[in-house]
Amino acid sequence: MNRLSTAKRAQIVAALIEGNSVRSTCRMTGAAKGTVLALLADLGAACAAYHDEHVRGIGARRIQCDEIWSFCYGKERNVTDEQKAAGAGSVWTWTALDADTKLIVSYLCGGRDANWAKSFMGDVASRLTTRVQITTDGHGVYAEAVEGAFGMDVDYAMLIKLYGAPVNSDTRYSPGEVIGIETKIRTGNPDPKHISTSYVERQNLTMRMSMRRFTRLTNGFSKKLANHEHMLAVYFVYYNFCRVHQTLRVTPAMEAGIADHVWNIAELVTLVESKSMLDGLKQVV
């Protein structure tokens, strides 16, 4: 990977964040599979560190939270307990999106139980500077997690969708029709007009379209949890800093005031060198 030019690295990353699998990226760019995965690991670590350091002090007013399902190595019913301990099976990605700037404020990759919810909401709270209105779906673990992270200093509501039976119960992957929506005020005084998860759910679609690892009914799913996490880190920095939002006409990071220009992918891949240099300085000190 050290022999790759910035242009070649940018070409590889562009392929990965536009929905291509690792092997198709290899065919398109002429890079070896090991080279692509090595770049993904290095850049993923650099992007995770960049997001953690720079996506802070956000003055958001409305936050929408959701979780999106994927799996690693095999689906839950097909993996052993030993494989599950190594990261195989269902993987949930928690996301918190600023409804005004469309910035992904926080994300977390892991399980879907109360402990993961507490870690996620604690991270969300640590990145905000203002009292916010939060909307989540009806997943029960959110209630305690939001209270633990924000206390009473939040306006929080759940948006609970009511589903009917699937039209054709014999069809796989056919969710039931939404027949109603129920809102439940949990804390504070949230504005009823903004009790919504529409933006974060639309972001879920963008994730599935942008990363082959999330595409259903293909063999492009992640085989290792670490690579799954690296791809998420790269994607979220790309989404926040490089991708111009169609409605905003700027990137979410620019709208949120944490960037002053649209990054290109070449700028994104230079985070690898920046992190390596910083790590080297820390070792010297």
The pLDDT value given to residue 179: 79
Distance CA 160, CA 144 (A): 17
Distance CA 144, CA 191 (A): 21
Report the C-alpha dihedral over residues 273, 233, 54, 148, rounded to 10 degrees. Answer: -150
DSSP code string of 267-283: HHHTHHHHHHHHHHHHH
Least confident span in 2-6, 112-116, 210-214, 235-239: 2-6
- Judged against a pLDDT cut of 50, whether residue 206 lies above it is answered with yes
- Judged against a pLDDT cut of 60, whether residue 284 lies above it is answered with no
Q: Where are the domains of the chain?
A: 6-284
The pLDDT value given to residue 99: 98
Distance CA 200, CA 89 (A): 24
Q: Render pLDDT for 141-153 as a digit per residue (tens, 0 to 9).
A: 999 999 999 999 9
- Judged against a pLDDT cut of 50, whether residue 103 lies above it is answered with yes
Flag whether the pTM goes above 0.85: yes
The pLDDT value given to residue 279: 66
Give the CATH H-level superfamily of domain 6-284. Ribonuclease H-like superfamily/Ribonuclease H (3.30.420.10)
* 110 token code pair: 């892991």
Asked if 199 contacts 97 with a C-beta cutoff of 8 angstroms, the reply is: yes
Which of the four pLDDT bands, split at 50, 70 and 90, describes residue 175?
low
Stretch 31-47: mean pLDDT: 97
Asked if 183 contacts 155 with a C-beta cutoff of 8 angstroms, the reply is: no
The pLDDT value given to residue 285: 47
Q: Render pLDDT for 122-148 as a digit per residue (tens, 0 to 9).
A: 999 999 999 999 999 999 999 999 999
Contacts of 116 (CB under 8 A, 6+ apart): 92, 94, 108, 110, 141
- Judged against a pLDDT cut of 80, whether residue 270 lies above it is answered with yes
Distance CA 63, CA 134 (A): 5
C-alpha dist (Å) from residue 98 to 51, 55, 107, 232: 15, 12, 12, 18
